[in-house]
Structure 1
Amino acid sequence: MLSDAIMVFLALTTANIWRFGLTREQLHVDETATSYWSVTAIIAVVWWVFLGLWGSRSPGILGQGFEEYKRTVSATLSLFGAIAILSYLSRVDTSRGYVAIALPAGLLLLLLSRAFWRRRLIQARLAGHWNYRVMLLGSPSSVLHLHSSLSAHPQAGYDPIVAYLPGFSRTAPNGDELPLPVAGTSLQVDGILAAIEDYRLDAVAISSSASLSPRAIRRLGWELADRHIRLIMAPALTDVAGPRIHTQPIAGLPLIHVSTPRLSGINAFLKRSFDVVLASLAAILLSPVLIATALAVKLDSPGPVVFNQERVGKNGKRFQMHKFRSMVTDAETKVSALAPETDAGNEVLFKIKDDPRITRVGRFIRRYSIDELPQILNVLKGEMSLVGPRPPLPREVAKYEDHVHRRLLVQPGITGLWQVSGRSDLSWNDTVRLDLYYVENWSLAQDVLIIFKTFRAVVASKGAY
């Protein structure tokens, strides 16, 4: 709250001084004149209130990144939209220069402030601070799944402390002990409440497999509300993005609807337009890099500058993917000899560290993904997209299980979730999971976010070989 107030004050003060200097410029409303410094104070207070009303400071979304930034932007744009409407209706000549400075400056400062605090919050949570102490309630298998999901993302702030298995055995499905203590197995709400008190919990996550009656869950919800403890319902939905989930209450029963985004019609047009515009700009801006890389590849080792390889695109259509050559010219003939060295857990994708086929220049351009830049031409030709699943080789597709073919429902991409989540360090199962998540949850906003994250992943060069 304090940092929001400071950022808003700085933005509006800067706009006032930049536009009017230190003079007491007046805003005329009918026959009344008001100093712009008074206007600045009023707008600052209203802006700060809007940020609260839009939930941008809600504890549930702090540190969550995109949702927090979206609410901050929405509150800010709503405020300045209201200012524009009121100025028009009341025929007040609000300074356009003042607004043109205050709006972008305020947004930038607010987002930078939120990014700073988000980083601090994540660091604290990774160190074990500022977390919600959570009880996982359900069957052993669902508790295992919830535990692994929450433990894999400690930055979300949910720390699984204890399990409660109403009506179930105390062991995991395979007979092993669960990775956290089991507080009880009673179906009685009083037993659950006693465990909550014993472990001083902040939240209870109930899975869809919990063997509690609707009446018991309702009573538990009342008791938790009286104790100011969060109740979290964890449905058996995995890898579904938030915008696809819609709740419709019917006679007090919240029904969850899951929509399927289809990359057709206007969505397909927007994605294609986005690809063409950004790929064209990238081709122009990166032309010096393309020329320098081509010369380096040519001088480093004999062979063509560009390596063309058959890949499988949307709906199984094959195309020639372009890359700067980063290996010796007979690299493909050595695949069978190197196959035993393929990294464990990635048997479908042929990836090995310290590949002896890579040239000196090739090692550098692969490390920073410069070898991928000629694929801009594939994007302009409509064979690829800027963002999408990794384009597979025909021999990889031949090994696909049936469900993995869903990766081919959209255009493959130069970058994607696999690129910003570990690249070649990912196992095959993780690669498939990320690609299918993208296919099932596509949105233009997600594409923009992945492109921004790609720059960070490329600079870090982690998982590139």
Structure 2
Amino acid sequence: MSGTQRDAQLAQQVDRQSAKVLQWRFVMNLALMAFDALVFFCVNLGVMAMYKEMRVFTTRLQWNVTINPYLYAAVCAIIWVFCARVAGVYHRHVFADGYQLNVLLFKATCISWISICAVNYIMQTNISLADVTVTCLCVWVVEMIVRMIARMFLTVRHRKGEYAYPTVIVGSPEGIGQILKFLNQRKQLNYKPVRVCPIRVNPATGLIEADPDRNLLKAEVEESWGDFIQPITYGDDLAARIAQTGAQTVMVTDVLDRFSDNLSTFAVQMEALNLEIALITSALDIAEHATQMRNIQGMSIMTISLPQYSPASRIKKRIFDLVVSSIAIILSSPIMLIVALAIKLEDGGPVFYKQERIGLHGKPFYIHKFRSMRVDADKHLKEVLEANGQEMGARYKLKHDPRITKVGNFIRKTSLDELPQFFDVFTGSMSVVGPRPQRDFEVEEYDQVYATRLLVKPGITGPWQVSGRNDLNEEESRQLDVSYVQDWSVLGDVVYILRTIGIVVHPHGAY
């Protein structure tokens, strides 16, 4: 058999393997759409009966034409499913992410409410606004419950290795370890590592070659994944050998730089056998930017921009901060009073603690918290760090800081010490969601990429707070902060707030 025939057979094999995964995903989405339509249909009819609006008619063009209520409910159910699809509810990467999915369901609810109201207005039906509003809200609640049950089912299947894309991870041993750790924490991404391929750049030729350090690879894999994964050696017939493993996706972590000849050659080899390539890019990759092509006197110019940094988007974020901080201050006032009394009674010191931090565009400001340490804590920071074998820097960790008081230990783990920062948000020096504010000596250690976190206001909560806090290493924390600068949106901020509530209920990584 010739090499061309063998490659053709391998490509067909990958297609068959991909078809199986696509089949279950199609069936799952189709079943969800049908169920979603049924839920909306039943809830809508129930609400119509409650409001005694089962006799539906239209007065369009002065005609009093009766509409079958079941037909009306069915049309509304189709609108709901369409809106859910537009909102991204059925995307495979968000299906198992409870926080993000619930926000998208709410987004779909809002879109469908507007759409159904528009249809009722155009058709001039007798269906009341209250009917549509109650129906949409009830469907949102029911859908969150349904998705929670579906996620439980899918999680069990994922743990058994089902409903996932067999994946080969290509990169340096360190890069492979980072991605394995990431995939191990985020099962909803549906990538199942079946092989790892360690590579490096030959310093003499600039070409890609196999990385021979198998001991480092083994250590990275076992630490990040907890189990052995068979390595595959990089070579000319790599694509064919990957296809023979049954893999469908090749995930590139590092070494193969974007827009490089090495990556272009690698991609052609993989795509020739119908293998999907998943490329892990920099947090500041321009792929997330809005692009516009213009031709000026024969010269093509591409302009790039981030829409969320437009004046309109900044105004929306400021309004969002004002609304959320105002509500939070009102609702948390009794709690803040109790915390203030507890701090005062413990040692008689001041209730609040303020410290200079670096904010938007490097401008200093004072952050306010409930005091969780003894009064002279700052004076003893250096000696405490030295006693624990650490130095002053951007990422020092103290699991058992002797300066923390008993009340302080509790309010830190429950994040109650952060409540006064809502006043900082209200006055405009902070945002509800954003990178955590840092001190001047920490900012001095920023490199060019990490300094981009100063392009947004620091936040009370954000990616660091909801992703493990002090349990994260320096690289993970930096990646989260820079990614937020690139991708922030008001809807994304809502997701972070919901996740923060979960962290408060089940705290981890806080010390």
TM-score band, normalised by the shorter chain? Answer: 0.7 to 0.9
Cα 1:377–1:8 change in 2 (3 A) is: same
**Where does residue 232 of structure 1 map in the other structure?**
277
Instruction: Give the secondary structure class of the aligned counterpart of 2:357.
Output: strand
> What percent identity do the matched residue pairs reach?
28
Cα distance change of structure 1 residues 339 and 147 upon mapping to structure 2, 3 Å threshold? closer
Task: Tell me, in whole angstroms, the C-alpha distance in 2 between the residues paired with 1:463 and 1:360.
Answer: 18
SS in 2 for 1:418: helix
> CA 1:217 to 1:321, structure 2 compared with 1: closer, same or farther past 3 Å?
closer
Within the alignment, does 1:302 sit opposite 2:344 as a pair?
A: no
Q: Name the SS of the counterpart of 1:28 in structure 2.
A: strand
Which amino acid letter does the alignment assign opposite residue 160 of structure 1? P
Match of 1:187 in 2: 236
Give the distance between the partners of 2:392 and 2:307, measured in 1 at CA. 29
Query: Mapping of 1:328-407 within 5 angstroms?
Result: 328-342=374-388, 347-407=393-453
Mapped to 1, the partners of 2:473 and 2:345 lie a distance apart of 35
- Distance in 2 (alpha carbons) for counterparts of 1:278 and 1:149: 31
1:45 CA drift (Å): 5.4
- The DSSP-based 3-state class of the residue aligned with 2:509 is coil
> Structure 2: which amino acid aligns with 1:9?
L
The structural deviation recorded for 1:351 is 3.6
Aligned residue in 2 for 1:268: 314
Cα distance in structure 2, aligned partners of 1:78 and 1:406 = 34
Q: Report the equivalent of 1:107.
A: 140
**Partner residue of 2:167?**
134
The alpha carbon displacement at 1:454 in A equals: 0.8
Does 2:480 match 1:431? no
1:156 and 2:185 are equivalent in the alignment: no
Q: How does 1:240-251 map to 2 (within 5 A)?
A: 244=289
Q: Which amino acid aligns with 1:307?
A: Y
Cα distance between partner residues in 1 of 2:265 and 2:397? 53
**Counterpart check, 1:19 vs 2:52:** no
Matched, 1:315 2:361: yes
Q: Does 1:98 find its partner at 2:128? A: no
Distance across 1 between alignment mates of 2:262 and 2:446: 40
In 2, Cα distance between the equivalents of 1:122 and 1:284? 38
For the 8 Å contact 1:24–1:37, the answer to whether it is kept is: no
- Whether the 8 Å CA contact 2:92–2:189 is kept in 1: the answer is no
Corresponding residue number in structure 1 for 2:323: 277
Q: 1:50 to 1:395 in 2, by over 3 A?
A: closer
**SS at 1:33 equivalent:** strand
Distance in 1 (CA, whole Å) between partners of 2:490 and 2:74 is 37
Partner SS for 1:386: strand
The one-character-per-residue Cα deviations of 1:373-418 (angstroms, maximum 9, x if unpaired) are: 1112222222211112211123333444454333322221111111
Question: Higher helix proportion, which one?
Answer: 2
Between the aligned partners of 1:319 and 1:442, the Cα distance in structure 2 is 22
TM-score by length of structure 1 reads: 0.80
User: Is contact 1:342-1:351 (8 Å) kept?
Assistant: no
What secondary structure is seen at the aligned counterpart in 2 of 1:304?
coil
CA distance in 2, matches of 1:247, 1:313: 32
Partner of 2:455: 409
Q: Measure how far apart 1:140 and its partner are.
A: 7.4
Which of the numbers 62, 66, 73 marks the counterpart of 1:40? 73
1:60 offset after TM fit, Å?
5.8
Task: Write the distance in 1 (CA, Å) between the matches of 2:46 and 2:446.
Answer: 63
Asked if the contact 1:424/1:464 (under 8 Å) is kept, the reply is: yes
Normalised to the residue count of structure 2, the TM-score between the two structures is: 0.74
Aligned in 2, Cα 1:218/1:67: closer, same or farther, shift over 3 Å? farther
Aligned partners of 1:145 and 1:364: how far apart in 2? 32
**Partner SS for 2:210:** coil
Residue equivalent to 1:170? 210
Partner of 2:131, secondary structure, is: helix
Q: Deviations over 1:117-143 (max 9, x none)?
A: 234423542453332111345787876
1:94 partner SS: coil
Greater relative CO (CA pairs within 8 A, separation 6+): 2
> Are the counterparts in 2 of residues 47 and 76 from structure 1 also a CA contact under 8 Å?
yes
**Which residue type is aligned with residue 437 of structure 2?**
P
Q: CA offset at residue 455 of structure 1?
A: 0.9
Helix, strand or coil at the partner of 2:488: coil
**Paired residues of 1:341 and 1:352 also in contact (CA < 8 A):** no
Residue 195 of structure 2: SS of its match in structure 1? strand
Segments of structure 2 that go 5 or more residues without pairing to the other structure are 1-29, 200-206, 222-228, 294-301
Contact 1:3–1:113 (CA under 8 A) maintained in structure 2: no
Q: How large is the RMSD of aligned CA atoms in angstroms?
A: 4.0
After superposition, what is the alpha-carbon deviation per residue over 1:243-278, rounded to whole angstroms, capped at 9, x for unaligned? 547799xxxxxxx99744564522222222211221
Question: Cα gap change, 1:428/1:304 in structure 2, threshold over 3 Å: closer, same or farther?
Answer: same
What CA distance in whole angstroms lies between the structure 2 residues aligned with 1:236 and 1:171?
Answer: 21
CA distance in 2, matches of 1:171, 1:55: 40
8 Å Cα contact 1:345/1:428 also seen in 2: no
For 1:29-68, what per-residue CA distance to the aligned partner results, in whole angstroms no more than 9, with x for missing partners?
A: 5465344244334544564576568774454653356775
Corresponding residue of 1:290 = 336
